[in-house]
Structure 1
Amino acid sequence: MTGRPRIVIVGGGAGGLELATRLGDRLGRRKRAEVVLVDKSPTHLWKPLLHEIAAGTMDLDDHGLDYLAQARWHHFRFQRGELVGLDRKAKQVKLGPVVDTDGTVLIPARTLGYDLLVIAVGSRTNDFGTPGAAEYAISLDDAQDAERFRRRLIRACLRANFQAHPLSEEQLRVAIVGAGATGVELAAELHNSTRELVAYGFERIDPERDIRLTLIEAAPRILPALPERLARSAEKLLGELGIRLLTGERVTEVTPKGVRTAGGRFVPAELTVWAAGIQAPEVLAHLDGLEVNRLNQLVVQQTLETTRDPDIFALGDCACCPWPGHEGCVPPRAQAAHQQATLLAKNLQRRMAGEPLLPYRYRDFGSLVSLGEYSTVGNLMGALVGGNLWVEGMFARLMYRSLYTMHLYALHGFVKTFFDMLARLIIRRTEPRVKLH
């Protein structure tokens, strides 16, 4: 490849933003390539934090990262827009218009040329076409969804605290459909945050009596994708907190007042969160003939090249990457996206130099599930811990927090990450432990 190639990365999630930052520092700074990041949102938030934003225990304004600022600091360009199509022959990405909240078109639809393209648009919740899910359930797919749920929760508490008549059957009840990591973490975080919230002037609400949280899972146990021992620990703690667990129950309908299951149950709920299943965005199924699987994920080779175009790569949740020795694809986890971004930073430079690409090998370092302020459970894997180490409590919580710190380190380096973490620690000591408005 000759000249100054343009590398376009569509999607500013964990993998996409880390890749843009690495390439900007290595190539953009030296004018060896033009690196462009595209995302529909103006800010980045690490997706595993969404349940804390939804519960109000973390402030979005304190943890959101402006793409424009990151682009300036790390020598890449940022273009706001949503992927709506692709012209492989012309090597152009089609971006939809950017529309303000009042319907005003801020940026018209346009195309963006590329020499090398990386698609990292992540995934969205899969409601499997369940009646009422799209209308009455909230999916925590992005920061806006999490903020919408948090505001509805506060409004529900305000309404319940000041109404003259007794609470109705569904009031102050939350149903969480899907007991994977997101659902379990949200349930534990909500148990803590709602009690913090009502302590600030909601004297007519008794959390133990009035607030009810229900986890509904179609599989025989919670955390079905994680080791059974981990699931048992989480189930024990959730039970001690009084969180209702319904396993082996498939939701067949979501209504304004609750959810119905295939077993004939009706679970009353003022708020319903859909956290079951994932799929890649629908647009990927129509990207000028690129191969996708049934979940709309782009099928890629071991080098992360798409199977039908060597100049287009994919990483993260939207990519179906082979996992040698296992059935199916590499699991959609933040650690996989981080590893793929690290490899692609090398492979894109090798492609520019005409060198053979390196294969991706997923390394599973284990799983950690945060149960709010109460505990964290998980298992660590790898040579450093001698195989498989089960962890729980404070040590597990520190390891869980270190994952976010590692993400910040990949984006900012040591100095800025250290001072950011120190500043947040100080601010947290002087502010309420839950967002109140």
Structure 2
Amino acid sequence: MNRATASGLHRVVIVGGGAGGLELATQLGDKLGRKGLAQVTLIEKARTHFWKPHLHEIAAGSVDLHTRSVDYLAQSHWHCFRYRMGEMIGLDRARREVHVAPYYDEEEGEQVTGARVFGYDTLVMAVGSQNNDFGTPGVQEHAILLETPAQADRFHRRLVNACVRAHAQPKPLGPEQLQAAVIGGGATGVELVAELHKATRTLVSYGLDRIDPERDIKLNLIEAGPRILPALPERIASAALKLLHSLQVSVRTGAKVTAVTGNGVELEGGETIPAELVVWAAGVKGPDFLKNLDGLETNRINQLVVRPTLQSSRDDDVFAIGDCAAAPWVGRPEGSIVPPRAQAAHQQASHLVKQIRRRLRGEALKPWRYRDFGSLVSLGEYSTVGNLMGALSGKNLWVEGIFARWMYLSLYKLHELALHGWWKTSLGTAARVIARSTEPRVKLH
């Protein structure tokens, strides 16, 4: 149904500025906001956007956050949507209102905006996901969760400090010093340990010559399941495992973490793995506030249950996309859910742009069908492995090496194109290539 404000504009409110949410806001702003056909509002608590699949590169120092981030306020100005800073804390479906908490400056603690309420005619939830620590003792106190750029940047500062401290101290290294434990053998964990292997060696080469990386630095990857990359084909997992072994990464499978302490990780059975740096990259769930969002249906990991049209199961005016949506995988056995991947969020955003335009015209919405283009895992500069599905021959194609690396990078380029278009994406890419030849290969602060 096409409802509108007193000014005659249909109000589209998008909550969450991740990959799917920002792409949707940008494209709707260009196609509807610019033409005065709808009022598009993005609600997001952060000031800048960073593509989440690259967080492990910030943590390792391979990528500088400030060269890849997108300023929400500038993006909204350029693409004719409204950016409103704040965190959603409630929903009134009867009144079609989103409730947003007051926003306080992260450093000064001063209030920037008060509590606010935003009315909507179409609401799109795109709040992403967070790590699931399963209530494991010590995770919140001693581990870093790579959910935001700030957390990834915090880990990198700890990494640099650990190396400088080890180089400067006169006494021998403690058992946990320069030891890192990455908990979770999914794509994030595997990609992070590969990046850390390269980054630590580069970091040590900048004058920290009292550290022998082969002797002193140890990386541990810990997975509770029987193999790493459990959601991907076994061939990909085997190739990744072989490369990690060649890098002397200690990979522990079938190892359940029972606690994280200030100087290591405790495993079921009593074994302790010393570690100065601990990253929790295991488990995925929707944000906790979704569980009690004015009666909307959620699954066991807090995802909003949606129909093939991406509308929530209990409200035609509320949609969900990205990791926070439990979207049915059309064409698969009943009950199959689309996996939480960046390519799914990208496809959903593109689909919903067309469907919201149909909604404004009062036309029936078309279902979304996920197209699985395969899975790729980047092992830093060492390799990229994965499979491509159906794009060329209708078969599952195994790829690795430089071609796989190009395909991996193309996923991010599609995201950039959706946000900036061809001209700005091309200029930005060229600028980063030039800058990379004049700056350190790893961020040093």
Shared fold, TM over 0.5: yes
Q: Deviations over 1:117-163 (max 9, x none)?
A: 00000000000000111111101001011001001111111111111
Letter in 1 for 2:45: K
**Partner of 2:235 in structure 1?**
229
Matches within 5 A, 1:28-107: 28-100=33-105, 101-107=107-113
Matches within 5 A, 1:29-428: 29-100=34-105, 101-324=107-330, 325-326=332-333, 327-428=335-436
Give how far 1:111 is off.
Answer: 1.1
Q: Aligned equivalents of 1:76 and 1:105: distance in 2? A: 24
TM-score for both structures, normalised by structure 1: 0.99
Q: Deviations over 1:323-376 (max 9, x none)?
A: 132443110000000111011111111111110001011111000000011000
Give how far 1:249 is off.
Answer: 0.6
Task: Kindly report the root-mean-square deviation, in angstroms, between the aligned alpha carbons of the 2 structures.
Answer: 0.9
Q: Aligned equivalents of 1:178 and 1:263: distance in 2? A: 18
Letter in 2 for 1:50: L
Q: Aligned equivalents of 2:192 and 2:135: distance in 1? A: 23
**Partner of 2:437 in structure 1?**
429
2:199 alignment partner, SS class? helix
Of 24, 27, 38, 1:19 maps to 24
Q: Deviations over 1:273-332 (max 9, x none)?
A: 000010110111111111111111100011000011100100000000111324431100
Letter in 1 for 2:323: D
- Say whether the 8 Å CA contact 2:344–2:370 is kept in structure 1: yes
1:38 alignment partner, SS class? strand
Count of matched residue pairs: 437
Give how far 1:97 is off.
Answer: 1.4
1:127 alignment partner, SS class? coil
Letter in 1 for 2:124: V
Give how far 1:61 is off.
Answer: 0.5
Q: Aligned equivalents of 2:351 and 2:407: distance in 1? A: 24
1:111 alignment partner, SS class? strand
2:83 alignment partner, SS class? strand
Change (3 A) 1:385 1:433: farther
Q: Aligned equivalents of 2:98 and 2:368: distance in 1? A: 26
Q: Aligned equivalents of 2:129 and 2:355: distance in 1? A: 23
1:413 alignment partner, SS class? helix
TM-score for both structures, normalised by structure 2: 0.97
Q: Aligned equivalents of 2:26 and 2:393: distance in 1? A: 30
Q: Which runs of 4+ in 1 moved over 4 A?
A: none
Q: Aligned equivalents of 2:102 and 2:203: distance in 1? A: 39
Q: Aligned equivalents of 1:425 and 1:219: distance in 2? A: 39
Q: Aligned equivalents of 2:393 and 2:430: distance in 1? A: 28
- Say whether the 8 Å CA contact 2:373–2:391 is kept in structure 1: no
1:151 alignment partner, SS class? helix
Give how far 1:102 is off.
Answer: 2.5
Q: List runs of 5+ in structure 1 lacking aligned partners.
A: none
- Say whether the 8 Å CA contact 1:86–1:94 is kept in structure 2: yes
Q: Aligned equivalents of 1:428 and 1:15: distance in 2? A: 28
Give how far 1:386 is off.
Answer: 3.5
